[in-house]
Amino acid sequence: MTVSRTICLGFLALITAGTLLLLLPIATADGQWNSPLIALFTATSAVCVTGLIIVDTGSYFSPSGQAIILLLIQVGGLGYMTATTFLLLLLGRKLGLRDRLALQQSMDQSELAGGRRLVLSIILMTLILELTGVFLLMPLFSPDFDAAHSLWLAVFHSISAFNNAGFSLFADSLIGYAQSPWMTLVISALIILGGIGYQVIMEAMLWLRDRIQRRRSLRIFSLHFKIVTSTTIILLGLGTIALLSTEFNNPATLGLANLPDKLIMAWFQSVTTRTAGFNSIDIGQMENTSLFIIIALMFVGASPGSTGGGIKTTTLRILLACTRTVLQGKEEVLCFQRQIPSSRVLKAIGVVMGSGLTVIGTTTLISITDPEFNFIAILFESVSAFATVGLSAGITADLTIWAQLAIIATMYVGRVGVLLFMATILGDSSPSVIHYPEEDLLVG
């Protein structure tokens, strides 16, 4: 069985198990057997760490049901992070000497060789960061809830945030804490760390260790590290500025808040849009311009080897580098004074084409089954499902069953990765030995 098939079937098995568990009467607050569609939708959304919902998690599900959802999030998130980091390392083996140096510096040699230590290291890092999150979130909830309830809220939101799942136990997501700098700080940190990928965190930690130990550092950051961190920072900044400008005077969102609160809320929405999916602003009340900006940010999404979705920061950066190359009339695609291999360029095209076609397909389907909804809302839900974001313009719960099934399928394809999914469906083809002559043609 190929790696891609394992990933596709693994997620399918997880979703099936989750659906069966959520069907049980112990999962629901009213103690009745759950509806199959609600169980399937919620299980898929949890395993794919999307966070789109058709019932309110906090009131519809019992504490056991919530625990099942949290477990699905954790297994789904960890599974994906491990799988994609493996792929990154497999790829690392093919690198040249100089580049291998950067990678090897960032993880021990033994980790490159054996997978077991890597998996343990990922699990350990996840647990440490999530536990820190729980510890830091406790003071946020304890003034309003008793100790046990506060702890549960802290555990649930910490795990949901680090896995970029976006599930919340509050019916209005985090709108109630919109103006809390502490919530914004802690949840943002968890989201960003979860969405930036294991390798980037490890490289940063090892660099930090050298600094603290005052070692004379010979550490070279990998190209992956540089692209991911710089793109993440730029997108976070641009998103904050864009949403701050478009919502500045909208009384239903940022309009009535003072300037520091406006800044906090715009920043949080920018962080959560790629691809955590919490919200501290009412998405349904936003301007169309903001929805359009959010759609673009969601489509880009997080970084490879993380818990997040979308086409990924590296894909965007490679395509922008290609555009710059063309404009300069050159042939080499460069990023941070490194050449991008042409196979990566091709893969970036494949990812964007596959993603674009998936989103177009889902949007077309839902606009056929549910023509009464606003078009931008339909496009919004489709992109949100594909990029496993989970933000909602407020229509998902009211869609017809066919549209909800389409959303379920889109979340699944978006999570396992559109190329991996298509490659699995199509099966492996043996590489061709025939070489064809080159012929030029006019483009654009």
**In the window 44-83, what residues touch K ion (CB under 5 A)?**
51
Nearer to a second copy, 187 or 348 (CB): 348
Within 97-126, which residues bind a second copy (CB under 8 A)?
Answer: 98-99
Window 229-268: residues binding a second copy (CB under 8 A): 246
Q: Which of the residues 346 through 405 are near K ion (CB under 5 A)?
A: 390
**What are the distances in angstroms from CA 133 to CA 32, 82, 154, 286, 414?**
34, 21, 8, 29, 27
Contact between 437 and a second copy (CB under 8 A)? yes
Beta-carbon-side half-sphere exposure of residue 4 (alpha carbons within 13 Å): 13
273-332 positions binding a second copy, by CB under 8 A: 287-289, 291-293, 296, 304-305, 311-312, 314-315, 318-320, 322-323, 325-332
Find the part of the chain contacting a second copy (CB under 8 A) among 122-130, 161-169, 171-179, 427-435: 427-435
Residues 257-286 that bind K ion (CB under 5 A): 277
Query: Which of K ion, a second copy, none does residue 143 bind (CB under 5 to 8 Å by kind)?
Result: none
**Looking only at residues 69 through 98 of this chain, which bind a second copy when binding is defined by CB under 8 A?**
84, 87-88, 91-92, 94-96, 98
Q: Quote the CA–CA distance of 131 and 155 in Å, as a whole number.
A: 8
- Give whichever of 32 and 337 is closer to a second copy, judged by the CB atom: 337
Binding mask 163-192 for K ion (x = CB under 5 A): -x-x--------------------------
Which residues, 6 or more positions from 7, have their beta carbon under 8 angstroms from its beta carbon?
83, 416, 417, 420
Please state the separation of Cα 140 from the chain's center in Å. Answer: 25
Q: How far is the CB of 284 from a second copy (least distance, A)?
A: 14
Would you say 184 or 392 has its CB closer to K ion?
A: 392
> What is the x/- site pattern for a second copy, positions 346-375, by CB under 8 A?
xxxxxx-xx-----x--xx--xx--x--xx
Task: Report the distance separating Cα 5 and Cα 350, nearest Å.
Answer: 19
Distance (Å, rounded) from C-alpha 382 to C-alpha 150? Answer: 34
CB atoms within 10 A of CB 375: 11
**How far apart are alpha carbons 204 and 207 in whole angstroms?**
5
Picked from a second copy, K ion, none, the partner binding residue 390 (CB below 5 to 8 A depending on kind) is K ion
Among a second copy, K ion, none, residue 51 binds (CB under 5-8 Å by kind): K ion
Tell me the per-residue interface mask from 200 to 219 with K ion, x by CB under 5 A, - otherwise.
--------------------
* Coil/strand/helix, residue 61: strand
DSSP string, 185-253: HHHHHHHHHHHH-HHHHHHHHHHHHHHHTT--------HHHHHHHHHHHHHHHHHHHHHHHHHTT-TTT
Cis bond upstream, residue 275 (ω within 30): yes
Question: What is the Cα–Cα distance from 307 to 88, expressed in whole angstroms?
Answer: 14
- Site residues, K ion (CB under 5 A): 51, 164, 166, 277, 390
